[in-house]
């Protein structure tokens, strides 16, 4: 099996199937032959492109957070706000949980993601091993799922449509900066390949890229890494001997704890999911926004906001808000509940389709934050005390909690458990 020893052995992160890698041309991708998850993508000078995009993102992050993002002009008075000013306004009005959530997802996490990439890529560009590379990678892995610049841009678009019915909207410098930043961060994340970065770091430390997977002779029938007594490091993707058998409980490369499957995956998924189910009701029933004006007070729910956009003629945005704020959270809860129940019952029914459901939930989960960002902009700008003021309602906090809890539930769920029931019947775990 000389071919096996020359080609890289890959374990799929979503179904645990062991496969042989293959050379990739730029623009091509390698997918799992069982669940169709992406195993790798061909890139040309990926770290160099990622570094260029990260440097540009760092510059735009400063501009985006220093200059006004949008302004509102009424009767000659111009009210402008920065993103940090919007967060401060939420905190001043007493909705500090919402202020913390917006600050983390739109300011802190994009900054940490950019800094982590620069931390790792700048030394590698000059042929040096990054200082404390393990911490840099963990910072990147922590911040990447929670940075939601692209959702913020759509939220700003919806807010501008609503504000245009109140007064003249004046786009700020930071608005255009955020649009470009969204594209640059996406490009930097796409070009940043953790496996390639780790290979360069390993080569720099050891001279020959040590830390190779244990030698194997692959069988003809489809088997998993677990069936061979192997475990995949969830942080850096290194394939290692099962810690229960080897006595090695930390990855030798990134020092992360090794687990055959995510610890207490189903229990944690159910805990987050149950809390999200409970909070989903007040999030849609209670007022998400309170408006006070010369004509009286008005309390708006998420659905009434959708109706307002529809009646005002902005039906594309009405559909967008309805899908992102009502349909997506409900489908995420139902989808995760279905995955958890079927996995707990060791169901072998349609594992490929169930894996795709999980992948879709992971993809669309963050877009539910759309309404939170709309509320943030409205609260920050509509503060004409003599004419009108807007404050966040109790449903806004409940809705923000639903979004966070469903994201945590999807992160806690281990899709490899879907395939364990099928493997249990014809593969004996050694």
DSSP track, 263-331: TTHHHHHHHHHHHHHHHHHHHHHS-SEEEEETTEEEEE-HHHHHHHHHHTT-HHHHHHHHIIIIIHHHH
Tokens representing 8 are 């890289």
At 217 the pLDDT is 57
Q: Note the pLDDT tens digit of each residue in 367-403.
A: 889 889 988 888 887 766 556 677 888 889 999 999 9
Residue 405 main-chain phi, psi, to 5 deg: -65, -40
Residue with tokens 């189910």: 277
Q: Hunting for tokens 């050379």 — which residue is that?
A: 23
Neighbours of 127 (CB within 10 A): 8
Walk along the chain (430 residues) and give the pLDDT tens digit of each residue.
Answer: 344 445 678 888 888 888 877 777 777 788 888 888 888 777 777 788 999 999 999 999 999 999 999 888 777 777 788 999 999 988 988 889 999 999 999 999 999 999 999 999 999 888 888 888 888 888 998 999 999 999 999 888 888 888 887 778 888 899 999 999 999 999 998 888 888 888 778 766 654 444 555 555 555 555 888 877 888 888 777 888 877 665 667 888 778 888 888 889 999 999 999 999 999 999 989 988 877 765 556 787 888 888 877 887 778 878 888 888 888 899 999 999 999 999 999 888 889 999 999 999 988 888 889 889 988 888 887 766 556 677 888 889 999 999 999 999 999 999 999 988 777 654 443 3
The tokens for 165 are: 């019915």
Q: How far apart are CA 73 and CA 347, in angstroms?
A: 59
Contact between residue 201 and residue 129 where contact means Cβ atoms under 8 Å apart: yes
Burial of 311 from C-beta contacts in 10 A (0-12 / 13-18 / 19+) = exposed
Residue at token pair 């966040």: 392
Furthest-apart CA atoms within the chain: distance in Å: 81
What whole-number distance in Å separates Cα of residue 108 and Cα of residue 92? 19
Set out the domains of the chain in order of their start, with CATH numbers. 2-42+212-252 (no CATH), 46-197 (no CATH), 263-430 (1.20.140)
pLDDT at 296: 58
Per-residue model confidence (pLDDT) at position 169: 84
In terms of DSSP H, where are the helices of 7-128?
46-66, 83-92, 96-103, 109-125
Its sign, for the CA torsion 37, 43, 47, 53, is negative
Alpha-carbon distance 38 to 111, whole Å?
A: 27
Phi, psi at 384, each rounded to 5°? -90, 90
| Residue pair 71/78 in contact by the 8 Å Cβ criterion | yes
- Tell me the pairing of strands 239-241 and 230-232: antiparallel
**Can you give the pLDDT at residue 388?**
66
């Amino acid at each position: 099996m000389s071919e096996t020893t020359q080609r890289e052995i890959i374990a799929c992160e979503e179904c645990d199937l062991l496969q042989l890698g293959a050379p990739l041309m730029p623009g091509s991708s390698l997918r799992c032959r069982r669940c169709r998850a992406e195993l790798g993508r061909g890139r040309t000078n990926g770290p160099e492109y990622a570094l260029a995009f990260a440097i540009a993102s760092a510059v735009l992050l400063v501009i985006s957070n220093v200059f006004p993002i949008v302004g509102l002009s009424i009767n000659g008075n111009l009210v402008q706000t920065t993103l940090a000013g919007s967060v401060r306004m939420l905190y001043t009005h007493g909705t500090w949980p919402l202020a913390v959530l917006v600050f983390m997802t739109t300011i802190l996490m994009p900054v940490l993601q950019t800094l982590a990439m620069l931390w790792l890529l700048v030394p590698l560009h000059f042929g040096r091993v990054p200082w404390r590379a393990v911490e840099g990678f963990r910072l990147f892995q922590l911040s990447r799922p929670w940075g939601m610049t692209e959702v913020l841009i759509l939220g700003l678009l919806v807010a501008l449509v609503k504000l245009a019915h109140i007064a003249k909207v004046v786009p700020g410098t930071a608005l255009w900066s955020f649009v470009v930043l969204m594209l640059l961060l996406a490009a930097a994340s796409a070009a940043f390949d953790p496996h390639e970065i780790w290979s360069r770091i390993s080569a720099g430390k050891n001279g020959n890229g040590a830390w190779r997977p244990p030698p194997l002779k692959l069988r003809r029938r489809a088997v998993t890494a677990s069936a061979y007594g192997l475990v995949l490091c969830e942080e850096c993707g290194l394939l290692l001997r099962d810690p229960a058998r080897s006595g090695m409980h930390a990855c030798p490369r990134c020092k992360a704890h090794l687990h055959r499957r995510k610890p207490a995956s189903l229990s944690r998924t159910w805990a987050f999911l149950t809390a999200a189910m409970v909070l989903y009701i007040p999030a849609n029933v209670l007022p998400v926004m309170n408006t006070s004006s010369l004509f009286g007070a008005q309390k708006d729910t998420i659905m009434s906001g959708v109706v307002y956009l529809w009646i005002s003629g902005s039906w594309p945005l009405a559909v967008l808000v309805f899908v992102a704020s009502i349909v997506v959270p409900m489908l995420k809860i139902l989808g995760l509940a279905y995955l958890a129940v079927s996995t707990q019952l060791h169901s072998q029914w349609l594992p490929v389709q169930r894996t795709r459901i999980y992948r879709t939930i992971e993809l669309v989960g963050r877009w539910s934050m759309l309404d939170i960002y709309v509320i943030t902009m409205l609260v920050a700008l509509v503060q004409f005390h003599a004419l009108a003021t807007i404050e966040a309602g109790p449903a806004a906090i409940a809705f923000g909690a639903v979004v966070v809890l469903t994201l945590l539930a999807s992160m806690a769920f281990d899709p490899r458990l879907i395939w364990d029931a099928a493997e249990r019947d014809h593969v004996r775990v050694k």
